[in-house]
Amino acid sequence: MNLASLLSGPLPARAAAVAGAIGAVAITALYLVRLRRRRVVVSFAPLWLDAIGPRRTTSWARRLRDLLSLLLALSLLGALLVAAVDPRPAAADRAGRSVVVLIDRSASMSARDGAGMRLDAARARANAIVDGLAAADRALVASFASDAIAESGFEAGINVGRLRRAVAAVTPSEEPGDLPRALTFASAILRGRPGPTLVLVSDGAFSEEARRTIPADVDVRFAAVGTSTSGRDGGNIGIISFAARRVPADPATVEAALVVQNFGGKHAAFAVDITAGDNTVERLRLDLGPGERRRHELPNVFAADARLQARLLTADGRPLAQGDDGADDLALDDTAFAVVPPLPRRRVLRVGGPNLYLDGALLSLGRTVTIDRVAPAAAEAQRARWTDYDLIIFDGVTPAAPPTTGRFLFLDANGPGSPFPERGTVRDPIIADVRRDHPLARQLDLTDVNISAARRLALAPGDVAVAGSFGVPLLIARERPGLRIVATSFDPRRSDLPMRPAFPLLIANALAWAPGVNADAAIEAPPALLTGASARPREDLPEIAIAHVGFHRAGDMVIAANLGDARESDTTPAAELELGGHKLASPDPPVWRGGVHVGALALWLAFALLVVEWVSYHRRWTR
C-alpha cells in the first residue's frame, strides 16, 4: 500500500486499526509521564504560600481529572479514525440494485422546453432518480447521442453528490441519438452485476427500427421528459436536406435543392435565406401546412463562393427560433450547409485552322477545360486516342471516315468524312424552329441570327434537328451507343453567330451534352454528411468525425455537414416507449433515506470533543 492509495479514498480498516493502536499507546504514554515542578529556593516560605494558590485537591480527584483528559483524547482519536474509514459499503450489496441512469443528449434534447431546453428537464429528472436511490443501490450516470459515454463510475446510492455532479456534466450535442448502441453499452456495463437496472431519460425520439430490441436480463425503465408546444402554439420547422451542384453548361450558375418540413400542428409561413459567403444569393417565402414536407428547387443561383448556407427566418428577418409565435422549438435544424462541387477537368481536341472566334469561345469555358490544337492530318494519326477526349471539335474539316465512337462537334459538316450526307445548299436561311426542350438549346437565343448559306444535310433515323429553317436542319444532334455528335450545317464564320453570346453558350452546351451529362436533369442531392458520422472524403485523406453542423476542412477539401434527421427535428415527445414490443415501466418511486452517515457523524463528534477538551482544560477540569 502506497501513499497515493491512502490519500485517494477512505482509509482501509487495517490501516485505521494500526493507526489507532499506535495513537492510543502514544497518548497513554504521554499521560503517564509526570511533569515535575522546578525546585526554587526562596528566603522565607510563608511569603510564597499565598502565591501558589489553594492547596491541591485530594489524590482521587486528581486521578479522576487525569483519567477524564485521557478518555477525551482517546475518544477524539477514535472519532477521527472512524471518519477516515468512512464505513459505507465499498462493494455492491447483493440486496441492492446496479442502476445505470442513461441520459439522452441527442439533438432533439436541445429543443426549447418551457423556459429552458429539454436537456435541463432531463437533468432534473435524473437528479430526482439519483436522490431516490436506496442506500444499498449502486448507480452509474451515462449519456448518449451517436455514441455513449460514462459520466461517472458506480457510486453508492447514498453518495448523491458525486452522482449529481456527473448529471450536471452532461452537455447537449448536435448528433442524432443511436439508441441500439447506447443499450448495448449499458447492457455491457451491467453484465454480471446484482439487480441490473437501466433507466432511460429521454424524449423518446427514436425510429421503429431502433426500438426493435431490448437488452436481455436487464430491467429497463423509461423516464419521459419534454413538453411539446405543438399542441398549444407551434411545433418545429426544420431543413431535412440541402444540396447544390454547378450547372455544367454554365460554371457560374448553381442549382440547389432544399427540403423543409413543418412538424407542427398548424400552418407556418416563413422565409428561407440562402447565402454564399457574406452575400445573399436567394431569398424565398414558403407556406407549409401541418406536417407538410416540401422540396424546393432553385434552378439559377449565382454563387461565386463554393459554400452555401440556408437559414430559416421569420417574415421580419429574425432567426425562426426567436419568433414570437413559438412555431419553432429547435434552432439546430434551422440552418443547413452545402458545398458546391468543383467542375470536373475536361479535355477538348480542336481540329482545324486558325479561328479566333472559336478560340475565344473555348477560353470562356474556364481553367477546368484543357484545349489541345492539332492539324487535320495530325488528328487522323491519333484517331485511336479520340475517346480520351470529352469533346473533339472539327472546325470546317472532317476526318477521313465518319466516326463511330466518341464525342464530336462538327462546325460546317461537309466532305467524305461528314456523318451527314449533303443534299445541296440553302441561301439566307432563317432560324424558325428550335427544340427548346433539348439540352443543346438550354438558354440559347438564336433569334435573328443571320446566316449567309447552309448545307442541306440528310438526317438518319434518330437524329434530332435542334434548330432548323422550315425543314432545313441547321443544328443537329445524333445520339448512338458510345457516340454523340453535334453538327451545324453552316460555317459560323459566314454568319453573325460568333458575334453573339449564343456562340460560346452553344460550345458549352455541346461540351455538357456530349459526355452524357444532361444539363436539365433533375437535381439529385448527394448523400449528405450527417452529424455523428465519420467520413473519409478522399482515399488520400484521413477519416474525420462529424460532430457539429457546418463546414469541416479535411486536407484541401471543405465538407458540409447537417443534422438532416427527421426524427430529431420532430420535437414531439413520447409519453411512453416500447422496446422489443414491451412497454417500459416508469422508474421506481424514491425511497426514504433513514440511514445515518457514520463518517459525517464521527466528524461532528470529533469537533464536539475538541470543544469539550478546550473548555475543560481552561476551566481546569482536566489537564
Residue ranges of domains in the chain: 3-88+598-618, 98-227+573-583, 237-341+560-569, 346-513
Best CATH choice for the domain 346-513 from the list 3.30.70.270, 3.90.550.10, 3.40.50.2300, 3.40.50.880: 3.40.50.880
- Checking if the pLDDT of 303 tops 80, the result is no
Residue 229: the pLDDT is 44
**pLDDT classification of 344: cutoffs 50, 70, 90:** confident
User: Would you state the pLDDT for residue 12?
Assistant: 74
pLDDT at residue 466 in the model: 95
User: Residue 388, Cβ neighbours under 10 Å: how many?
Assistant: 12
Confidence of residue 299 (pLDDT cuts 50, 70, 90): confident
Residue 222's DSSP bridge partners are 200
Measured distance CA(542)–CA(160) in Å, rounded: 43
Q: What is the pLDDT of residues 538-552, one digit of tens each?
A: 778 788 888 889 888
Q: What is the DSSP string of 319-381?
A: BGGG-TT---S-SGGGEEEEEPPPPPPEEEEEESS--HHHHHHHHTT-TTEEEEEE-HHHHHH
Closest CA to 137 of 114, 154, 112: 154
C-alpha closest to that of 74 among 36, 13, 19: 19
Which residue, among 266, 273, 271, 258, has the nearest Cα to 236 in the 3D structure? 266
Asked if residue 100 lies in contact with residue 189, where contact means CB atoms within 8 angstroms, the answer is yes
Checking if the pLDDT of 90 tops 60, the result is no
- Bridge partner residues of 544 (DSSP): 535
Q: In this structure, are residues 476 and 464 in contact, taking their beta carbons and an 8 Å threshold?
A: yes
CB 120 within 8 A of CB 104: no
Alpha carbon distances (Å) from 299 to 250, 256, 262, 483: 12, 7, 23, 29
- Give, in order, the Cα–Cα distances in Å from 44 to each of 51, 52, 134, 382, 462: 13, 14, 76, 140, 147
CB of 351 within 8 A of CB of 377? no
Whether residue 531 has pLDDT greater than 90: no
Mean pLDDT for all residues in the chain: 82
Distance of alpha carbon 573 from alpha carbon 552, whole angstroms: 31
Residue 39: pLDDT over 50: yes
Confidence band of 218 (pLDDT split at 50, 70, 90): very high
pLDDT at 103 over 70: yes
pLDDT value for 522: 39
* pLDDT above 70: residue 42: no
**Could you tell me if 387 and 423 are in contact, meaning their C-beta atoms sit under 8 angstroms apart?**
no
The answer for residues whose C-beta is within 8 angstroms of residue 184's C-beta and 6 or more apart is 215
Q: What is the pLDDT of residue 106?
A: 94
CA 197 to centroid of chain Cα atoms: 30
For residue 407, the model assigns a pLDDT of: 94
553: helix, coil or strand?
strand
**String of b and e for 49-76 (b: at least 16 CB within 10 Å)?**
eeeeeeeeeeeeeeeeeeebbbebbbbb
Cell of 491: 460555317
- Give residue 526's pLDDT: 46
Q: How confident is the model at residue 9 (pLDDT cuts 50, 70, 90)?
A: low
In this predicted structure, what is the pLDDT of residue 598?
A: 64
Q: Which of the two residues, 129 and 254, has the higher pLDDT score?
A: 129
Give the pLDDT confidence of 136-152 residue by residue, as tens digits. Answer: 889 999 999 999 999 99
pLDDT at 520: 45
Question: 251 vs 148, which has greater pLDDT?
Answer: 148
Is pLDDT larger for residue 215 or for residue 616? 215
End-to-end CA distance of the chain: 38
Flag whether pLDDT at 536 surpasses 90.
Answer: no
At 309, is the secondary structure helix, strand, or coil?
strand
Question: Which pLDDT score is estimated for 130?
Answer: 92
CA 269, distance to chain mean position in Å, is 27
What pLDDT sits at residue 152? 93
The CATH code of the domain at 98-227+573-583 is 3.40.50.410
pLDDT at 44: 57
**For 418-442, what is the mean pLDDT?**
92
pLDDT at site 422: 93
Burial 142-165 (b: 16+ CB within 10 A, else e): bbbbbebeebbebbbbbbbeebbe
Percent of the chain with pLDDT over 70: 80
**C-beta contacts of 279-288 below 8 A and 24+ residues apart:** 279/305, 281/308, 282/256, 285/315, 286/260, 288/237, 288/260, 288/261, 288/262
Could you report the per-residue pLDDT of 376-389, keeping only the tens digit for each?
A: 888 888 888 999 99
In the predicted structure, residue 50 carries a pLDDT above the cut 70: no
Cα 390 from Cα 250, distance rounded (Å): 16
CATH topology match: 98-227+573-583 vs 237-341+560-569: no
Least confident range from 97-106, 200-209, 338-347, 580-589: namely 338-347
Give residue 197's pLDDT: 94
Question: Tell me, what's the pLDDT at 156?
Answer: 83
Is 198:185 a contact under the CB 8 Å cutoff?
Answer: no
Verdict on whether the full-model pTM lies above 0.95? no
User: Would you identify the CATH topology of the domain 237-341+560-569?
Assistant: Immunoglobulin-like (2.60.40)
CA distance 562 to 240: 9
The number of angstroms, rounded, from the C-alpha of 255 to the middle of its chain's C-alpha atoms is: 25
Average pLDDT over residues 3-19: 64
* Residue 159, C-alpha cell as written in the block: 453518495
Question: pLDDT: is 131 or 618 the higher one?
Answer: 131
